[in-house]
């Protein structure tokens, strides 16, 4: 064995003392740390958790057979792996021992190369089992942390929904009632202040609603199924046109392949991207929007492009952040949550989204779905 390798601790049990001592001495020379017993019961009395890496036990012993010993040893140390030693005449019994929990067996008379091969394989198996157990513990702990985090998020959402929306509504209602009863007697400067307060309350309400929406979509389970992207885009476009039927928009929709996705979540992606395209092309003559699909490495990449306000690419990293805006409220309405929702939904589908644009010269958003 390599001198750099950790020393493996072996517990050797064989009722034939000379044979047990000879095996211990041979394995010591090979670099193992060995402890030998000719009595299985004495070996059990000395056994402590994590004291040894492997148990080598003779299968046929008068005081206690190897199967009973490895079962008792596993009660003391669940991480202890066992190898049985047997003669040619008892191979069937060795197989039975492996069914009872032994990892492998060694035939007598011993051949050193065969013994070392079995020991190396067993130690590698033990290491893998310990690593897997650690990963499982970490996964359980992470799951518990996520459950606590989800519970906190539920509590936060409930608080936002019930405790924050109510006072905002009261403020808005109070301002409206005041205008209704005393509006004619309020000077212009006072009206401006009241409108300022009303606009602030309205925007606060929008922020709360979008925050709840972001929280809800982050936790909503995926219900994937076949989706006709062509039909989905056509429906959303029709709804957006109906909101402003007098407006002229040059909108081109190319061939869009079907996909496998959560239909309701994917609709939010399409609604947000197309709503932005309609919003940021206001004032453009003509307003141009294109929806299409390209193929990269055999994977469809959908896109929405427009010739609207665009954005400065040095701020592209801010586009998908919650409540991040690259345009002032006086230019374009919104809370800055829509694109963060889009990114979260696309990534939950195993896809990616990217953006490209130029200030004053339009933008293009492209996304895949895994």
- The confidence score (pLDDT) of residue 3 equals 45
* Residues 316, 355 contacting (CB under 8 angstroms): yes
Q: What is the pTM assigned to this prediction?
A: 0.50
Identify the helix (H) or strand (E) that includes residue 156. Answer: helix 112-159
- The confidence score (pLDDT) of residue 10 equals 92
Query: Rg of the Cα trace of the chain?
Result: 36
Find the farthest-apart pair of alpha carbons in the chain and give their distance in angstroms, rounded.
Answer: 113
Alpha carbon separation from 303 to 20, 112, 260 (Å, rounded): 74, 66, 17
In the block, residue with structure tokens 């392949």? 257
Sheet holding 287-296, edge to edge: 249-253, 287-296, 299-306, 363-367, 353-357
- The confidence score (pLDDT) of residue 308 equals 86
Return the number of other C-beta atoms located less than 10 Å from residue 230's C-beta.
16
* Residues 8, 28 contacting (CB under 8 angstroms): no
Residue 80 burial (CB < 10 Å; 0-12/13-18/19+)? buried
- The confidence score (pLDDT) of residue 86 equals 82
In the block, residue with structure tokens 């030693």? 85
Q: What is the CA 210 to chain-centroid distance, rounded?
A: 23
What DSSP string runs through 221-258?
Answer: PP-EEEE-HHHHHHHHHHHHHHHSTT--EEEEE-----
Beta strands in the chain (DSSP E): 9-13, 33-37, 54-58, 81-86, 104-107, 224-227, 249-253, 259-262, 287-296, 299-306, 353-357, 363-367
Rounded to whole angstroms, how far apart are CA atoms 148 and 262?
26
- The confidence score (pLDDT) of residue 257 equals 94
pLDDT tens track for 15-24: 999 989 999 9
For each of the chain's 370 residues, which pLDDT tens digit applies? 444 456 889 999 999 999 899 999 999 998 899 999 999 999 999 899 888 989 998 888 888 888 889 889 988 988 888 888 887 556 666 667 677 678 888 888 888 888 888 888 888 888 888 888 888 888 888 878 777 766 666 666 666 666 667 777 888 888 888 877 877 787 878 777 887 778 777 777 776 776 676 666 666 677 889 999 999 999 999 988 888 888 888 899 999 999 999 888 898 889 889 988 988 888 788 889 999 999 877 789 999 999 988 787 787 777 776 545 444 444 444 445 778 888 888 988 899 999 888 887 788 999 999 7
In the block, residue with structure tokens 């193929």? 295
Beta-carbon-side half-sphere exposure of residue 88 (alpha carbons within 13 Å): 1
Return the number of other C-beta atoms located less than 10 Å from residue 31's C-beta.
14
- Calculate helix-pair angle for 17-29, 112-159, nearest 10 degrees: 70
């Amino acid at each position: 064995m390599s001198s750099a390798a950790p020393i493996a601790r072996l517990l050797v049990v064989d009722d034939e003392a000379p044979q047990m001592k000879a095996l211990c001495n041979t394995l010591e020379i090979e670099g193992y740390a060995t402890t030998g017993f000719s009595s299985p019961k004495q070996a059990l009395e000395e056994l402590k958790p994590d004291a040894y890496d492997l148990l080598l036990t003779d299968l046929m012993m008068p005081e206690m057979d190897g199967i009973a010993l490895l079962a008792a040893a596993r009660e003391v140390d669940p991480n202890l792996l066992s190898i049985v030693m047997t003669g040619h005449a008892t191979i069937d019994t060795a197989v039975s021992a492996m069914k009872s929990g032994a990892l492998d067996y060694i035939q007598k008379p011993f051949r050193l190369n065969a013994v070392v091969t079995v020991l190396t394989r067993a130690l590698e198996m033990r290491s893998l089992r310990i690593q897997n157990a650690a990963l499982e513990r970490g996964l359980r702990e992470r799951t518990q942390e996520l459950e606590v985090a989800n519970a906190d998020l539920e509590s936060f959402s409930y608080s936002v929904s019930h405790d924050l929306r109510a006072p905002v509504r009261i403020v808005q209602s109070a301002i409206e009632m005041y205008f209704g009863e005393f509006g004619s007697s309020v000077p212009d400067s006072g009206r401006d202040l009241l409108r300022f307060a009303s606009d602030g309350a309205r925007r606060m309400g929008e922020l709360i609603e979008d925050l709840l929406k972001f929280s809800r979509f982050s936790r909503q389970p995926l219900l994937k199924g076949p989706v006709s992207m062509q039909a989905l885009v056509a429906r959303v476009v029709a709804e957006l046109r109906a909101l402003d039927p007098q407006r002229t928009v040059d909108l081109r929709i190319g061939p869009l392949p079907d996909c496998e996705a959560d239909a309701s979540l994917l609709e939010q992606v399409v609604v947000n991207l197309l709503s932005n395209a309609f919003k940021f092309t206001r004032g453009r003559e003509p307003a141009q929007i294109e929806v299409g699909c390209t193929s990269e490495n055999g994977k469809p990449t959908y896109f929405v492009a427009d010739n609207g306000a665009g954005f400065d690419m040095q701020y592209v990293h801010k586009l998908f952040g919650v409540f991040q805006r690259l345009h002032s409220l006086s230019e374009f309405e919104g809370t800055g949550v829509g694109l963060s929702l889009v990114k979260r939904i696309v990534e939950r589908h195993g896809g990616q989204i990217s953006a490209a644009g130029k200030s004053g010269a339009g933008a293009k958003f492209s996304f895949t779905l895994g």
